[in-house]
Amino acid sequence: MGRDFGALASPGIRGLASYDPGHDIVALRNKAGEQGLLELGGNESAWGASLLAMAALRSELQTLELYPDPRGGVLKHALAEAFGVPREHLLLGNGTHELLMQIAQVFAGPERPVLVSRYCFAVYPLAAQAANARLDVVEALPKDHPSQPRGHDIDAMIAALTPAHGLVMLANPNNPTGTWLTTDQIERLLQAAGPDTLVVLDEAYGEFLALPGCESALSLLSKYPNLLVTRTFSKLHGLAALRVGVLVADPGVVAVMERVRESFNVNSPGLAAAAAALKDEAHIATVLHETAGNREALAIELKARGWFVHPSQTNFLLVDFGTPEAAAAIDRGLLARDIVVRPMRGYGLPQCLRITVGKVEQNARLLKALDAVMAEAGLSAPGAGASA
C-alpha cells in the first residue's frame, strides 16, 4: 500500500472528502447516441451564453500570451455600475466556489465555527472543514412545510447563532432545495448576528428569485458591514466554463481577502465575456422569462405524475421520488437514455433527484424518458402529495 500522505495534511484536510461532482459527464458524452446527451445535472443555462459575451471572448483570443488584468478592471467597472457599488466593494473569483473556500480560509477556523442549514450547498461544509473550523448544522424546515419544504429555518438559525461563529453561510435561493428567503428574514438574521460574525449570502441563483418581498441582499450591504454577497456568471449568464464569480462586501473585507487571492485568478476571456454579458439585457430577459415559464410547466407535469416537487425560484427543480430505490432506478433509467440529472445522496436526500430546467423540447424529452423508465421498471408514483 502507498504511503498515507493524508496524515501529513493539516487537521481539517485530513478528514476531508473532496467535492462530489456527480456523474462523469465527459464519459457520458462520449458514449451518447444520436440524440446526444441531455445534461440536466449541473444547473447550467440551456440558453447558453450571450452573443455579446461570445464576441468579447473571441477578441481576447488575440492576446492569449498575456496575463489577465490582475485587477479585473473592465469587469469591476461593469459590476460596479450594475450593482451600484464602488469597485472597492468587489472581489473577483475563479467562480464563486473559489471565493467561498477563501472566505472560510480567511474568516473561519478552530475558534471561529461555521453555521449552515441542513441541505445547504455542498461547498460550505467543505470550506469549513478545509479551514479546520467546526460546522454547526441547523435542522431545515420539514418536508411538509406549506411554502418552503426542506428550506432554511431562519428562526432556528438565529437561535443557534453565537458571538463565536466566524461565518454563517447560506444561499438564496438555495441549492439543492430551490427554496428561498424573504428580505425580512435575511435582515432578521443579520440583526441577530454579532459584529464579528460574517454572514455570507450566496446569490448564485439570485437573479431567478422574482417574488415581492425578496430583494437581492445587495440592497442591505450599506446597512450591514458584516454582510458578504456572492454572485456568479455560471447560471443566468451561461458562462460556467469560464469560472467567474464575484464577492460584494465591505471594502475592509475585500482588502483582507485580497491577501490570499491568487494574482491572476480570473482569466482574460472570462473577464471580457462576463463584462459583456452584464450588458446584454435582451439575453438576460429571455433566459429569466423562459426559465421561469419552463420551470413551472415542468413542475406541473412532474406533479401530475404524483411526485413531490419542491417549489423553486431557481433554474432547477428538486424532485422527491419517495424512496432511494425509486430515485436510483429513475437515475439509471434516464442515464440509459442519455439524460443526466443530479443524484442527491451526497446531500442526504437519496430519495430525490435535482433536475435542471431546460428548453421546452429538452423538458419534453425528459418527461417522455421518465414515462418510459417508469413503465420499464414497473414503478408507480407514490401518489398525489405534490407541493404547491
Ligand X SMILES: Cc1ncc(COP(=O)(O)O)c(C=O)c1O
Rule CB under 6 A: which residues touch ligand X?
43, 95-97, 121, 171, 175, 202, 204, 232, 234, 240, 245
Q: Give least dist CB 95 to ligand X, A.
A: 3
**Looking at beta carbons only, is 333 or 343 nearer to ligand X?**
343
How far apart CA 5 and CA 72 sit, in angstroms, is 37
Report in angstroms the alpha-carbon separations of 193 from 188, 251, 350. Answer: 9, 19, 33
Report in angstroms the alpha-carbon separations of 61 from 95, 125, 267, 358. Answer: 21, 37, 11, 30
Q: Give least dist CB 123 to ligand X, A.
A: 6
Tell me if 179 sits within 8 A of 310, measured CB to CB: yes
Q: Give least dist CB 333 to ligand X, A.
A: 24
Tell me if 10 sits within 8 A of 311, measured CB to CB: no
Report in angstroms the alpha-carbon separations of 311 from 11, 170, 258. Answer: 39, 18, 38
Q: Give least dist CB 293 to ligand X, A.
A: 21
Q: Give least dist CB 49 to ligand X, A.
A: 14
Q: Give least dist CB 59 to ligand X, A.
A: 23
Q: Give least dist CB 21 to ligand X, A.
A: 10
How far apart CA 40 and CA 237 sit, in angstroms, is 16
**Looking at beta carbons only, is 346 or 382 nearer to ligand X?**
346
Tell me if 193 sits within 8 A of 160, measured CB to CB: no
> In a 10 Å sphere around its CB, with 0-12 CB exposed, 13-18 middle and 19+ buried, how is residue 252 labelled?
exposed
**Looking at beta carbons only, is 246 or 272 nearer to ligand X?**
246
Pairing of strands 167-171, 114-117: parallel
Nearest by Cα to 323 from 387, 383, 367, 388: 383
Sign of CA dihedral 361, 296, 313, 24: negative
**Looking at beta carbons only, is 95 or 109 nearer to ligand X?**
95
Q: Which residue is nearest to ligand X (CB)?
A: 95
**Looking at beta carbons only, is 96 or 337 nearer to ligand X?**
96
- Other CB atoms within 10 A of residue 256 CB: 14
**Looking at beta carbons only, is 153 or 337 nearer to ligand X?**
153
Tell me if 326 sits within 8 A of 306, measured CB to CB: no
Q: Give least dist CB 373 to ligand X, A.
A: 25
**Looking at beta carbons only, is 244 or 327 nearer to ligand X?**
244
- Other CB atoms within 10 A of residue 93 CB: 25
Cis peptide before 163 (omega within 30 of 0): no
Q: Give least dist CB 237 to ligand X, A.
A: 10
**Looking at beta carbons only, is 171 or 186 nearer to ligand X?**
171
**Looking at beta carbons only, is 83 or 381 nearer to ligand X?**
83
